[in-house]
Every structure is written in structure tokens, then in C-alpha cells.
Amino acid sequence: MEKNPDCLYCQRNELQKSLMIEICDLQVSTLFLFKEQSHPGRCVVAYKNHVNELFELSESDRNAFMADVCQAAGAMQKAFAPTKINYGAYSDKLAHLHFHLVPKHEGQFGFGGTFEMNPQKVYLTDAEYAETIDRIIKAL
């Protein structure tokens, strides 16, 4: 599968770096920390190759991708103890298979509703991003 020259996830360009920080590679995907942290620990799991839909993957690749999503969600649960993790895979405007993993806590921002894609409310210092990433990596 080819990389798409116009894709944020394939190109790892400056726009992508302004929105998220690469944490690590998983089995068939890459885990990113979303810079906007209204939901502490929010991440994105992006498939390694340029596909848009789950059904485009072979059964083994689909299972491996979903295992990556589950591994990341489990680490988020362990590191941040959310009440619920929301999963978003919309891709309407960015055709590359990826899931937003959004940990939500009862009584905090956005609980009980659909998460906002980028509320632009909470940004961290470099040290706070590093600490958040460290918590996730230790929980993986």
C-alpha cells in the first residue's frame, strides 16, 4: 500500500505535528498524543498505510489494527482512569484510517455527549506533554 502525498498521516507534515505528538509505533499503526488535552490522555491511533475504511484491510490486518486500538485504550485506562473512553473514526475530511481515543471523566468537560474534535481549550507545556506520554508508554 502506498503513502498518499496529500495525507496528513502519510506525510507526517508540519500540520500534523501542530496537532499531535508521535508516541510510538504499535503492531500495524502509530500512536499519537493529541495536543489539545481537554480530555487528559487523548490519543490517535493511525493505521501504518494509507487506507480509509476498515473493510479495506485483510482480516489479519484489521484484527491487528483493532488490537492496537485496544492496547492504546487499555494503556489510557491504566494511566488516566477515565469513566469511559470514546472512540471516533470519522475520516470525512481526512481519508486515512485512524481512531481518536478520548478518555472522559464523569462530571468533567464533555461527559455524556459526543466529544468535540478540537475544542482548543487545553494545551500543555512541553514538560507536561512529556509526562503524559511517559504515563502512556509505561502503561503500554
Strand, helix or coil for residue 95 = coil
Residue 106: CB atoms within 10 Å: 9
Specify the residue for cell string 484489521: 62
Based on the structure, what is the number of domains in the chain? 1
User: In tens digits, what is the pLDDT along the chain, a chain of 140 residues?
Assistant: 567 888 889 988 898 999 999 999 999 999 999 999 999 999 999 999 999 999 999 999 999 999 999 999 999 999 999 999 999 998 777 889 999 999 999 999 888 888 888 888 999 999 999 999 999 999 99
- The model carries a pTM of 0.93
Position 132 in a domain: yes
Residue 1 maps to a domain: no
CB 45 within 8 A of CB 29: yes
**Whole domain around residue 43: which residue ranges?**
8-139
Examine residue 3 and state whether it is found in any structural domain, yes or no. Answer: no
Place of cell 500500500: 1
CATH of residue 29's domain is 3.30.428.10
CA atoms lying within 13 Å on the CB side of residue 88: 19
